[in-house]
């Protein structure tokens, strides 16, 4: 396998949800460095910041502040991307997460449903929304961001988040099978703990040190460690891979 050419994604449009911080931001920047036009989507003003910084690099980028749990807003997101760039070649669903750990007995129905909406329903909505354009052209790549929490059991997560990310992996496989003969690939990454702003807020330095000690490679991930596998799965170099979940966890998960 050869290294990526600097224009590997030239002429392609990449839409990244959760692109305003963390893994999504790093992926958006990585695609732009390889020549892509990038639509940066986030519910926060981080989308505008990242898009502006990508533009300053000389790449074309546009921001959209979108709630990816809203069917109407996801539809608007796709319309704006097609209006700006004329096509969607790659979708990366990096939006997600949870705000605090809670045992199941203390989990309210409202919280359960909210975490599933953000981490699983949003993936469904975004994938469904981009499919018409991709299918009409017979080409496209979708990379869903799952989690090691969806691959194995661990104490330092929460039941709603683990369930949602496990659902992302199953959804990815089903969609991959559904569109495999139509020129599209659908894959996922399952990151281990990654030092995004959300993770830094969620866990204390002491807890992060414990987590790092449980990783065979001896450290937790940086966002860039997750962005490169995402870019690979969206690239021509992964053209014969679909329905795959890459474990990017420093050896924590080995399947």
Q: Which of 50, 69, 37, 19 has its CA nearest to residue 230?
A: 19
Q: How many residues does the chain have?
A: 255
Neighbours of 74 (CB within 10 A): 23
Known active-site residue 161 = yes
Antiparallel, parallel or unpaired: β 61-65 and 90-93: unpaired
Given its phi and psi angles, is residue 180 left (phi above 0), alpha (psi -120 to 50 degrees) or beta? Answer: alpha
Cβ atoms of residues 231 and 32 within 8 Å: no
Out of 4, 9, 85, 161, the active site residue is 161
List, by residue number, the catalytic residues: 161
């Amino acid at each position: 396998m050869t290294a990526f050419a600097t224009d590997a994604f030239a002429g392609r449009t990449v839409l990244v949800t959760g692109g305003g911080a963390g893994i999504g931001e790093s992926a958006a920047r990585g695609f732009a460095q390889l020549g892509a036009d990038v639509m940066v989507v986030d519910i926060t003003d981080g989308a505008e910041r990242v898009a502006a910084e990508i533009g300053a690099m000389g790449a074309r980028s546009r921001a959209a502040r979108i709630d990816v749990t809203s069917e109407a807003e996801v539809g608007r997101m796709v319309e704006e991307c097609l209006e700006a760039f004329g096509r969607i070649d790659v979708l990366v669903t990096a939006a997600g997460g949870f705000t605090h750990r809670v045992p199941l007995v203390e989990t309210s129905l409202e919280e359960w449903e909210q975490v599933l909406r953000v981490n699983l329903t949003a993936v469904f909505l975004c994938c469904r929304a981009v499919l018409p354009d991709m299918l009409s052209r017979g080409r496209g790549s979708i990379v869903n961001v799952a989690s090691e929490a969806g691959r194995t059991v661990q104490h330092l997560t929460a039941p709603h988040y683990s369930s949602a990310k496990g659902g992302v992996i199953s959804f990815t496989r089903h969609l991959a099978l559904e569109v495999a003969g139509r020129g599209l690939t659908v894959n996922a990454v399952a990151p281990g703990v990654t030092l995004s702003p959300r993770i830094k807020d969620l866990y204390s330095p002491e807890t992060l040190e414990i987590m790092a000690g449980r990783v065979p490679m001896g450290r937790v991930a940086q966002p860039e460690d997750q962005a490169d596998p995402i870019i690979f799965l969206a690239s021509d170099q992964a053209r014969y891979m679909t329905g795959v979940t890459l474990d990017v966890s420093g050896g924590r998960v080995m399947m």
